[in-house]
Amino acid sequence: MVFLVDDFFKDKAFASRIPLESKDEIIWVNVDDEPKTKIVDQIRDQINENNKSLPAAVIGIGGGSVMDYAKAVSVMLTNPGSSSLYQGLNLAKNPGIYHIGIPTLSGTGAEVSMTAVLTGPEKKLGIKGESTPFDQIVLDPELIYDAPKNQRFYTGMDAYIHNIESLEGTARNCMSDSFATQSLALCRDVFLNDRLSREEADEKLMIASYFGGLSIGYSEVGVCHALSYGLSFVLGLHHGIANSIAFNHLEDVYGKAVQEFHRMVEKNKIDLPQNISKGLSAGQIEKMADIAIKLEHMWKHAFGPEWQKQVNKEKILNWYLRM
């Protein structure tokens, strides 16, 4: 077994609970930056150098970033060349090796999604295909108990926003609506109901993430995610905080949901970065808008096939200037 574990846990008691047997190994993964194709290739090469045969399984333990590393490494152990060659849909010909996901943050839905989001030399795009999803996942709410308040919130909001975007777009359907509605109820309980114990809330948050991820799998993300990709690409912000910064200013698109988001921020006493566009150059904001506008499938979901009548680069620039 190869355990890919978030290096946040390196000196924590949790590390000693990983039941290593003779040939098993732990590879500590740093996620200060979101997953890169270069690092996927390095991890794959390291596993091959240390072992004569393929491992029986890759087990990812960490937040969404480690979930994606584990999925990508599994695929890259059986497909030649750099992982940057496989960013796209169904480009890997050989099925990956058995892989297991054990999340330690909840919200991204990466534990259940079909994609491993990677930044390569040319693009930020997932390796997506039949064999990318985990063969098995373990959802243990104890593992998210120690997550810092702000991080827990930002990642949790990814699930909340997945649901809102899934429900408010043209690709919605009975399946995606059903998962999103249930996940949304759980998110509201977690972030607005103070009668819940932390243990009850963590359990609900894990399932909210899982259902939110399923909802998106059958539908699509929308305006907030398109803007958030631009923020992450140019500023290196992680997905959850980038989503939160963008959603905070999208009342003209997602109305009451944004008002509810403001209540959640206030109730949970969350530090949300403000006025980030003030410190940016015109070139940086342009670049963000260029990245965002290319995400056609998201705009199409949010505004329909004639989305270009409602959204142009200027409108996108204006959204960024509000943040």
CB of 278 to ligand NAD, least distance (A): 25
Q: Residue for token digits 């940086």?
A: 284
Q: Which does 140 bind (CB under 5 to 8 A by kind): Fe ion, ligand NAD, none?
A: none
Three-state DSSP class for residue 23: coil
CB of 314 to ligand NAD, least distance (A): 28
CB of 158 to Fe ion, least distance (A): 4
Q: Which does 105 bind (CB under 5 to 8 A by kind): ligand NAD, Fe ion, none?
A: ligand NAD
Q: Which is nearer to ligand NAD, 111 or 260 (CB)?
A: 111
Report which secondary-structure segment, H or E, holds 101: strand 99-103
Residues that bind Fe ion (rule: CB under 5 A) add up to a total of: 1
Q: Which of residues 156-175 bind Fe ion (CB under 5 A)?
A: 158
Q: Which is nearer to Fe ion, 9 or 69 (CB)?
A: 69
Query: Which of 94, 102, 45 is closest to 70 using CA atoms?
Result: 102
Contact 20, 45 (CB under 8 A): no
Query: What's the maximum distance between 2 C-alpha atoms anywhere in the chain?
Result: 61
Q: Which does 238 bind (CB under 5 to 8 A by kind): ligand NAD, Fe ion, none?
A: ligand NAD
User: Residues in the site for ligand NAD, rule: CB under 6 A?
Assistant: 6, 8, 31, 34-35, 62-66, 68, 104-105, 108-110, 113, 115-117, 144, 146-148, 151, 155, 158, 238-240
CB of 196 to ligand NAD, least distance (A): 19
Between CA 171 and CA 297 the distance in angstroms is 10
Joined tokens for residue 309: 């009548």
CB of 299 to ligand NAD, least distance (A): 18
Single-letter code of the amino acid located at 38: K
In this structure, the strands spanning 124-128 and 58-62 are unpaired
Q: Rule CB under 5 A: say whether 203 interacts with Fe ion.
A: no
User: Could you tell me which residues come within 8 angstroms of residue 121 by beta carbon, excluding any fewer than 6 positions away?
Assistant: 37, 84
CB of 29 to ligand NAD, least distance (A): 9
Contact 107, 158 (CB under 8 A): yes
Q: Which is nearer to ligand NAD, 137 or 317 (CB)?
A: 137
> Is 209 exposed, middle or buried, given 0-12, 13-18 or 19+ CB atoms closer than 10 A?
buried
Q: Which does 146 bind (CB under 5 to 8 A by kind): ligand NAD, Fe ion, none?
A: ligand NAD
Conformation bin of residue 81: beta by default, left when phi > 0, alpha when psi is -120 to 50:
left
Q: Which is nearer to ligand NAD, 77 or 105 (CB)?
A: 105
Query: Which of 220, 127, 130 is closest to 175 using CA atoms?
Result: 220
Q: Which is nearer to Fe ion, 158 or 220 (CB)?
A: 158
CB of 23 to ligand NAD, least distance (A): 27
| Site residues for Fe ion per CB under 5 A | 158
